[in-house]
Structures are given as structure tokens and as C-alpha cells.
Structure 1
Amino acid sequence: MDYSGMSLYQLSELSKIYGAEKLDDYKANLKTTFIKGIHSEKIVYNKNILKTLLMEMDTVYSSIIDLHLEKEVLLIDAYESATIEGARTTIDEVKHILVNNKDTKDTYMVKDTLAASKLAYSSDFKINLDGICDIWKIVTQNVYENKRQQLNGSRFRTGMVYISNGIKVFHTPEKPERIENKLTLFLQRLSQLEENVFIKAALLHFYIVYIHPFCDGNGRTARICFNSYLYHNGIKNINKVALSKFINKDRNNYYKSISESEKFVKINSDVFMDITPSIHYLLSTLKEAMTSTLFLQNKLSAEEKKLLTTMKKRGKNAEITVKKCIKILYLSEQECRNILNSLTNKGYLSKRKEGVKNIYTLLIS
């Protein structure tokens, strides 16, 4: 059963009304991570929910080729990441500023995010305490507004911060005196973890946002670290993918996924934090961003465009067979099979066998 978009917290609340069946099913597929919450909660995620998503991501990523788009994509991603955090400018304005150097606070946010991204993709960069701090220093070097709370010889914040909407506090991050030790241990354990690289990168992103090691710039730093971790662990074409563009389009759900993951639930004597919403959102959004990259590299035939348009009307994960394709395109069986296999090779569809027939599933929305 698919509980995408749900969490252990949500299901435990629903179980009070509808019974424990869904909760028990969900709990059976939970995987405990090495991470402990701020108050020693067990941090878990649902491996079953993520299994299909990871397979789809592998299919899409394997189709991305090097079109030398890094320069343009890095600028777009830096712009979108900065606007997630409040920058108000345009791509054209930033391009103009890059030439004449007449900056505003907003254009500084984009330029500094771009500079930090370039550092994070450099060949000798490493995701360690120094590397994370170096990214943060560049990201905030011209816009940092909390200097009185920061540093004084320390690499991390020296005062408490609170995540709120101005009325209600949603999250109280780690105490400042614990940040360095907690982050050091996390990075050590992450390097030893035998897990899918996309999951590991998502854990890194979540943990930086969760403990909030800096007073400002944590979101931009976390997203750059996510991309950098993937890049330095074999996902080299991640720098062709403008992830922040797709997060920015859906930023309310981005923040909601993090907020849902920070809720805890007590079951018997154990206290859990289920971070499935954060991982699922980030990876499904990355899959969408990677699929967008495919549109840039793959020219579609008129028949392929018609078929994709028809399937998209049915929504993401729409399914089709050769027989249904014939009814849509009025082509022969072999022609439809060739078109469906072509779209699979280009990363728009996935294919699985059920009995003697192939089922093709839409990977884009």
C-alpha cells in the first residue's frame, strides 16, 4: 500500500480514528537510521515508500548525458535557491550585475550562492566540517545579518534560533554547544553507511536543516551540500540539473515536508521521528528536475509528443500498454512498441513486465 506523503506521526493520529491496520503496515517497513533526534528520538524512514522512487530515479538519471549545460544550470539553480530564501531579483538582472558589479542585497544572495556552488563542485572539495563551513561563509558573506550571535571564534552559531512563522515556533534546533560534536559524528557515520547514495544525500540535507548549525543561510547551504554529495559520490551529471528551480515552484510543500519530518510520535516506550516526508519530497522533486533536463537533450517526434501529452492528462504514474498506444496513435503494433521503448530509453517512461505484456509508466508530471 502506498503511503507517499504520509508519515508515522500522521498515521498514528489517524489510527486513533480508523484503527491500527495502516499504522502496523507502515511500521513494518520502517528503517532506523544512525541519527538521533535532538532529544534522542529514533529517526526512521519508510524504505518501501522510497523503493519504487529510487528505481525510477536511476532510470531517469542513466539517460542524462553531458550537454555542457553546467554554467547556465548553476546560475539558474543559484538564482532559484536564493529566491527560496527571499531574494527578489531576476536572472537578467543577475547576469547584468555579473558584468558591471553594481550589486544589491538580492543579487549578492544569488552571486554568493553561485560562488559556493562552484566551490562545492570543485575536484578537491570534501563534505566535512571545514567544507560545510566554507560553503556557508561564501553563501552569507555579503548578506549575513546575525553577526552578533555568530562566531566570536566559533565556526557555528553561538546563540539559539527558533523556526517560526512569527506567531508560533515550529522547531527549536540543536543547542549551540552541541552542534560541532553532533555534526562531526553525523558525518563520520554517514561516510560509513551502506545505503543508496540518494538516500545518503537526503539525510545530509535534512540533518543540516534540522540542527540549523548557522543563524542564517542553512537552507542554501543544505541544498548545495546535497548536490555536492551526489556529485562527489558518482552522480556527476547532477550539475546539469536545476533542483532548486523545482523546489521553488513548490516551496510550501518543501517546508511542509521538513516540518512533518520534525514531528515526533511516542509508540510504547520509544519516541520516533519519521523523516520519510522530507526524503520523499526531495527525491521526487529531484526526479522531476532530472526529467526536465531530459527535455533539453531529447528531441521528441510528433507521435512521442502526442503520446506523452495524452498520458500527462491522466497524471503522473499513468500507465499504458502497446494495445492502448495503438488506439491513441493509430499506428501498427511494432511502431507503437518502438515509440514506447524510445520514450523509455529517453527517461520519460519506465517499463515492467506483467505476464506476457509490458506495462509502461509515466515518470513525469
Structure 2
Amino acid sequence: EDNEIVITDGMEGNIVHHPPCYTQLESRLRLICDFANTHHTGENETIFIHPIIKGIILHFMMGYEHPFADGNGRTARALFYWFMLKSKYDYFEYISISKLLKEAPVQYGKSFLYSEVDNNDVTYFIYYQVDIIRRAIDELLNYLQIKSREFEEITTLLHGSSIGDKLNFIQKDIIKKAIKHPGRSFIANEVAVDYDISANTARKYLNELSQSKALVSYKNGRTTMYIAPENLYDILRR
């Protein structure tokens, strides 16, 4: 309930942004909500704003208002993600812009500052965020390519083994993790959560892997643990 919240440059303590007066905060946040929930599809005489651009603008608006003593950046990015998912851009669930923004906090801050000093021309911020999104998508695609190659390698290895044709996708993925992390332990409840299956089904899959010597099972109290053997790669090549 005061105007003490300011943004500094983080180095010399110079103030680079004064958020709007706190007495206007409630009405200004209501305007953000109204903007977020107004359709901008270009239909019925409405203006068209591309959903990604609108999400970026919402990100900027919340950052500009800076209503909290802490967590404003997280809130602004959460608002962006919310709008992307609301607009059916479901793949944003797997895209991390926060990681890239945190890697270059100075550039992130400047994208706000350049917009503000140029009469709140949000173009600067939009350009920067679009570039961040593009890079985040590239990182996701690279990650998927790596995981795809890893799975193909495991599939090729299993194809020549005696158990390869007996395994389903989940069991093959468990073996991939086991090869990558010898000594790793698996339990039915964790596998059930990871693959969205029942605990009984997870236990069945793990028992089958244990019977095939791909995992080693032992009792830890009332829980059955399944351990990735050190020589799993050699076992599968037999």
C-alpha cells in the first residue's frame, strides 16, 4: 500500500522503472484481465491480434505494472503460458522461455526498458520475446531429436536380443533409462506415475523385465525394488 516498489539496474542501484501509483493498481489490473479475456480474432468487427503476440503483450503488461514486492517476472511468464494454453497452443507446455530469459537477465530487462523509454512502444519487447520463443522451440526440437536417436539405438539393440520382441514401449523406455544409469532403482509406484498406468500394470512390466534378467529385483521391507545391472548392455547383446 505504497509506492516503494521500484526496479533498479541491479548494479549501481539506479532506478530504471517506477511502476504506476499503487492507488491505480486495482483498476489497471482489471484492465489487464479485460484485455486477456476479450476476443481479438478479427471476427464480428473485432481487431485481430495473433495469440502469441497477445500473450507477449500480457507478459509485458504484468511486468510493467509490477504489483508485487517479489515474483513479478514469474507471474508475468505464468500469464503468458496461461494464455498460450488457453489459445490451444498446447506445445507451450513443453517449451521453456524462463530458462533462456534467466540466462540473459540484462537483455530481458532492456527489452522492457527500451519499450518504456520509447513511449511504451512494445515492439522492442515483442521482437525480443519472439526470438526467445524461437530459440526455446529449437531447444525442444533438439532435445526430441536426441531422445529419438537414443530410443532408436535401444530399439536396434533389442531387435537383436532374445527379449526384444516381447517388450512394449514402456519396457523399452525403462531399459533405455537402465542402460544410461547403471544401478538405478525402479519401483512400481514411480513407474506408474511416470507412464500414467496403474501400479499393478507397472509391477507386471517390471516383473517381466526381472524375469528376462534385464533388471534385478529384491525386497526392501514391503517394497520390491528393481535395479539396473551394471552389465545390462552385455545381457541384451546375448
TM-score normalised by length of structure 1: 0.36
Q: Determine the structure 2 residue equivalent to 1:173.
A: 19
CA contact (8 A) 1:246 1:289 kept: yes
- In the alignment, structure 1 residue 259 sits paired with structure 2 residue 113: yes
SS at match of 1:298: helix
CA distance, structure 2, for counterparts of residue 251 and residue 244 of structure 1? 10
User: Residue 186 of structure 1: CA displacement?
Assistant: 2.5
Instruction: Flag the structure with more relative contact order, 1 or 2, with Cα contacts below 8 A and sequence separation at least 6.
Output: 1
Q: Determine the structure 2 residue equivalent to 1:161.
A: 5
User: Residue 158 of structure 1: CA displacement?
Assistant: 4.2
**Structure 1 residue corresponding to 2:129, chosen from 276, 282, 288:** 282
CA distance, structure 2, for counterparts of residue 239 and residue 190 of structure 1? 19
SS at match of 1:170: strand
Q: Which structure: larger Rg?
A: 2
Unaligned runs of at least 5 residues, structure 2: 41-47, 150-238
How many residues are aligned here?
138
User: Residue 249 of structure 1: CA displacement?
Assistant: 2.0
User: Residue 242 of structure 1: CA displacement?
Assistant: 1.7
User: Residue 257 of structure 1: CA displacement?
Assistant: 0.8
CA contact (8 A) 1:160 1:175 kept: no
User: Residue 250 of structure 1: CA displacement?
Assistant: 2.0
Corresponding letter in the other structure for 2:7:
I
SS at match of 1:181: helix
- In the alignment, structure 1 residue 208 sits paired with structure 2 residue 57: no
CA distance, structure 2, for counterparts of residue 188 and residue 294 of structure 1? 35
TM-score normalised by length of structure 2: 0.54
Which structure shows the bigger proportion of residues in helix conformation?
A: 2
User: Residue 180 of structure 1: CA displacement?
Assistant: 1.0
Q: Determine the structure 2 residue equivalent to 1:293.
A: 140
CA distance, structure 1, for counterparts of residue 54 and residue 33 of structure 2? 10
Unaligned runs of at least 5 residues, structure 1: 1-156, 265-271, 302-365
CA displacement 1:16-42 (0-9 Å, x = unmatched): xxxxxxxxxxxxxxxxxxxxxxxxxxx
Q: Determine the structure 2 residue equivalent to 1:3.
A: none
CA contact (8 A) 1:261 1:278 kept: yes
CA distance, structure 1, for counterparts of residue 13 and residue 138 of structure 2? 39
